[in-house]
Amino acid sequence: MTVMTADRTQAAGAGDEAVTPTPGDVTELILQDIMAGILAPGSWLKQIDLERRYGCTRQEVRRALDRLAQKRLVQHVPNRGYHVHAPDGRQASEIAEIRLILEIGVAGRIVLNAGAPDVAQLRHLANEFDRLVLEGTLMELYEANLAFHSALLALAGNRELVELVTDIRRRTSSAPVSQWRTRARIEQSGREHHQMIAAIERRDGDALKDAITHHILQR
């Protein structure tokens, strides 16, 4: 009983997936469907439906719902069930504010750390985003945007930061559709990506901050 033994056998990461009707984690699948708008904000997530939809067991569903509730993506009402959280305007703007502070806060570091290969990588991701504006789905666009911003933040040399921002981003984007209303705005986002890259190449931290500000506040 009690504790001890700091036996440190390092956990093998184990990226096991595939095989069997259960591809990976049900949490991820439900999350994707929420993001895609298939599971609309406000709708009730009946365990029996999810069970059938994803071909998994009841307890897997319950664990997934509990995790999503911890992340604030769904809300739990005891003896009633779980429903998709509908983020209000206040929360959305507060989270935008946090993103702004963080990304502005590391802009200087990004400019300092970025080398030629990093810039090339960013440019590749920005181009991928532009391509998907024409040819991709909204979901692919969302992923590409996330990839660009993750790569950008990674240049600050703070891994925790990348994960943190990825997490809080998800809190507002129950349905990414609601974010990017018009195609004009999406194309504008694409141009802003290239503005950021240009600022990084010029080692112009202030210009990068401006570009990020416009990009996040979308105005």
Partner DNA sequence: GGAACCAAAATTGGCGCCAATTTAGGGCAA
Partner DNA sequence: TTGCCCTAAATTGGCGCCAATTTTGGTTCC
Binding residues for DNA, rule: CB under 7 A, are: 2, 5-6, 9, 44-48, 57-60, 62, 76-82
Please give the Cα distance from 152 to 103 (Å, whole number): 9
Decide: is 6 part of the binding site for its own copies (CB under 8 A): yes
Nearest to DNA of 6, 184 (CB atom): 6
Q: Is 216 exposed, middle or buried (0-12, 13-18, 19+ CB in 10 A)?
A: middle
Give the binding range for its own copies (CB under 8 A) out of 62-70, 112-120, 142-150, 201-209.
62-70
Q: Which of residues 136-165 bind its own copies (CB under 8 A)?
A: 158-161, 164
19 binds, among DNA, its own copies, none (CB under 5 to 8 A by kind): none
13 binds, among its own copies, DNA, none (CB under 5 to 8 A by kind): its own copies
For the CB of residue 50, give the shortest distance to DNA in the complex, in Å.
Answer: 8
Nearest to DNA of 7, 160 (CB atom): 7
Decide: is 219 part of the binding site for its own copies (CB under 8 A): no
Decide: is 131 part of the binding site for its own copies (CB under 8 A): no
Given 36, 47, 51, 91, the residue binding its own copies (CB under 8 A): 91
